[in-house]
Structure 1
Amino acid sequence: MLLHQVATGDQKSFTILFEHYSKTVYPFALKLTRSEELAEEILQEVFLKIWLNRENLPEIENFGAYINRMTRNYAYNVLRRIAHENLIAFELSKQMTEEVNNTEEAVLHRDLEHSLNHAISCLTPQQKLIYTLCYQEGLKYSEVAGRLNISSSTVHTHMKLALKFIRTYCIRINTLTLFYLLFK
């Protein structure tokens, strides 16, 4: 009955569904990823997808199994993405280590750092602050949220937008080497 109500767009029913199932989705995602931030991201993505595809909810026979599978699939996708990013960062790091030995490459490295700093300076003040706290000070999203008195999802959104802008900026200046500085 609850799934049918959510399927019709009833936000109150969706809130009830979220409150009930988030108690299992978050711990499961945390167990798979061992990261509070990733577990929060997965929780948001799972329920966003449920809401966006709510018209299909009445067709689901075992919602508990469905949401567990969805959570597992999102967790694996996130872990694959991170592994891929880490591999790229490692390869770029290795390449940069070899190249920085040369004086010309050292100059290039400084120029790339300047470009990254310029990209960061173009962020909105809120994005710049959150990026600085997360990447340069190493704080977790929940710690940043507590410090700034905002929700973790707001921190996640600002980080997502900041990283998207920086990546777009990097592509625009046509250099993948800058990604090394971003992910080191």
Structure 2
Amino acid sequence: MPLKVTYNEPELLDQVAQGDSQAFSRLFHAYHQELADYVLRITKSLPMTEEIVQDVFIKIWTRREQLGGVNNFRAYLFISSRNHTFNIMREEARKALLYQQWAADIPFSEDPEHAPDRERYYLIIEDAVSLLAPQQQKVWRMSREEGLKHEEIAQRMQLSRETVKRHVSLALAAISKYVKCHARNVMGILLGLTQVLPN
């Protein structure tokens, strides 16, 4: 249920903004269940919902100084939660795509004990991406995580299509080199990466 009328919400938000943990606790309990129900309808996953709701409230607390300027906290909370939920779901879908590529291209056993190997390869690739130059990394993530075409990335970043294409090519080369230095039997992963790149 929304915040009870027994609370003065603007005053409560000001208290939270000033670091009052008890005021934050009242805010949390006022909205926690309603927010969890909302997120669960989107994710259909109770564990994911619990993680998302926790993340949202942690972010609200860490950015509490901003609450003083919020006029409609419920709208602010639910929009933030919706955006974070979609980001998490996109990330999970991206991981699932990588795992499908690995399953098709790499002779992994279906034995659950080999699952950490797949996660290790994924983490190596993430490490490689994090080391890219800022603009190159941004282009790569827009290409890989958002699934944008080169033309769309060029428009968003005000770059030429050829510049975007070069960034993607250089990023792939850098990632490939990094992974080759940090893992064995990764050719299937590298092939999978090239197959999902937009043209």
Shorter chain as denominator, the TM-score bin is 0.5 to 0.7
Q: 1:89 to 1:44 in 2, by over 3 A?
A: same
User: Could you tell me which of 25, 30, 54 is aligned with 2:64?
Assistant: 54
Query: CA RMSD for the aligned pairs?
Result: 3.5
Point out 4+ residue stretches in structure 1 off by more than 4 angstroms. none
From 87, 90, 93, give the equivalent of 1:83.
93
Measure how far apart 1:174 and its partner are: 2.1
Match of 1:24 in 2: 34
Higher RCO (Cα < 8 Å, 6 or more apart): 1
Map 1:63-102 onto structure 2 (within 5 A).
63-96=73-106, 100=107
Residue in 2 that maps onto 1:157 = none
Amino-acid identity (%): 30
Matches within 5 A, 1:151-162: none
Q: Distance in 2 between the 1:90 and 1:55 partners?
A: 43
106, 123, 128: which is aligned to 1:167? Answer: 123
1:173 CA displacement: 3.8
Q: Give the whole-Å Cα distance in 1 for the aligned partners of 2:73 and 2:94.
A: 31
Secondary structure of residue in 1 paired with 2:81: helix
CA apart distance, 1:24: 1.5
Q: Distance in 2 between matches of 1:7 and 1:32?
A: 29
> Residue 13 in 1 paired to residue 35 in 2?
no
Q: Which has the higher helix share?
A: 1
Instruction: Map residues 113-132 of structure 1 onto 2, 5 A cutoff.
Output: none
1:60, distance to aligned residue in structure 2 (A): 0.6
Q: May I ask how many residue pairs the two structures share in their alignment?
A: 123
Q: Distance in 2 between matches of 1:175 and 1:8?
A: 52
One-letter amino acid of the counterpart of residue 102, structure 2: L
Instruction: Return the index of the structure with the highest Cα Rg.
Output: 2
**Post-superposition CA distance 1:11-32 (Å, at most 9, x none):** 0000000001112111111111
Task: Note if 1:35 corresponds to 2:49.
Answer: no
Give the TM-score normalised by the residue count of structure 1.
Answer: 0.57
TM-score (norm 2): 0.53
Gaps of 5+ in 1: 101-108, 121-162
Q: 1:40 to 1:70 in 2, by over 3 A?
A: same
Structure 2 residue ranges without an equivalent (≥5):
1-10, 128-178, 190-199
CA shift at 1:167, angstroms?
3.5
